């Protein structure tokens, strides 16, 4: 656990990436698997994860992300896009996956499916969209922790215009919405923020024991 905490102290939201340093295919595969294995409500994973490698697309996204240099300089750009309309079909597809993965009769899952549908598909559209967006934060957390374990720098970003990113990537037509961005790579030697002490609340200010 000390090693884990040491790496959490090492990581920070990198402001300037070294554009010459790239993440290896093996490490990228590990990060992708960490995202895939992330927890989510019901295990539903109501989102897609876009890995934007095309430099022209990244250049188009940069203005929509307040001109931040990480968008184009980082080794990899990850966009978490939540599904905007989870419906019965979405849940039925998930139940089919459970059935095939666990070799369980689909009929045995009908009660679970009905429960999910009663809790999810009945939500108002905006509430449902907000719920699926929250699920992407769980996946982001796994990505950040896995990146720190590999000594890969990562910057989680909410500072962008989702509507513009949706338009650039054609996400609306796919029933998706850009929820979060994460840039991955290696810190530049000139990024002064890497030397700043980490600022967090004290245990006394943060925790309440009841």
Question: What tens-digit pLDDT sequence spans the chain (210 residues)?
Answer: 579 999 999 999 999 999 999 999 999 999 999 999 999 999 999 999 999 999 999 999 999 999 999 999 999 999 999 999 999 999 999 999 999 999 999 999 999 999 999 999 999 999 999 999 999 999 999 999 999 999 999 999 999 999 999 999 999 999 999 999 999 999 999 999 999 999 999 999 999 999
Whether the CB-CB separation of 82 and 49 falls below 8 Å is answered with: no
Q: Both tokens of residue 199?
A: 């600022």
Q: Which residues pair with 77 in a beta bridge?
A: 52, 183
Helices then strands, each counted (H, E), the chain: 9, 4
| The two three-digit tokens of residue 125, written as one number | 């559209």
Ramachandran angles phi, psi of 166, nearest 5°: -60, -40
| CA–CA separation, 108 and 105 (whole Å) | 5
Start and end residues for every CATH 3.40.109.10 domain found in the chain = 2-85+124-191
2-85+124-191 homologous superfamily: NADH Oxidase (3.40.109.10)
d(CA 22, CA 20): 7
Going through the chain in order, the beta strands assigned E by DSSP cover: 47-52, 76-83, 153-157, 176-185
């Amino acid at each position: 656990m000390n090693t884990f905490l040491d790496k959490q102290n090492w990581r920070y939201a990198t402001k300037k990436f070294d554009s010459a340093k790239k993440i290896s295919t093996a490490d990228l595969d590990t990060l992708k698997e960490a995202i895939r294995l992330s927890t989510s409500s019901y295990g539903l994973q109501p989102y897609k994860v876009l890995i934007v490698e095309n430099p022209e697309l990244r250049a188009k996204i940069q203005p929509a992300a307040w001109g931040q240099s990480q968008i184009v300089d980082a080794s990899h750009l990850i966009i978490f896009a939540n599904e905007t309309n989870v419906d019965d079909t979405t849940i039925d597809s998930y139940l089919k996956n459970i059935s095939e993965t666990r070799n369980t009769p689909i009929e045995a899952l009908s009660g679970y499916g009905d429960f999910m549908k009663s809790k999810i598909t009945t939500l108002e559209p905006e509430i449902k969209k907000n719920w699926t967006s929250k699920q992407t934060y769980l996946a982001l957390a796994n990505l950040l922790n896995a990146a720190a374990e590999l000594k890969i720098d990562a910057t989680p970003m909410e500072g962008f215009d989702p509507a513009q990113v949706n338009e650039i990537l054609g996400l609306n037509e796919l029933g998706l919405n850009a929820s979060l961005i994460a840039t991955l790579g290696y810190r530049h030697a000139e990024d002064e923020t890497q030397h700043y002490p980490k600022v967090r609340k004290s245990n006394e200010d943060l925790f309440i024991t009841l």
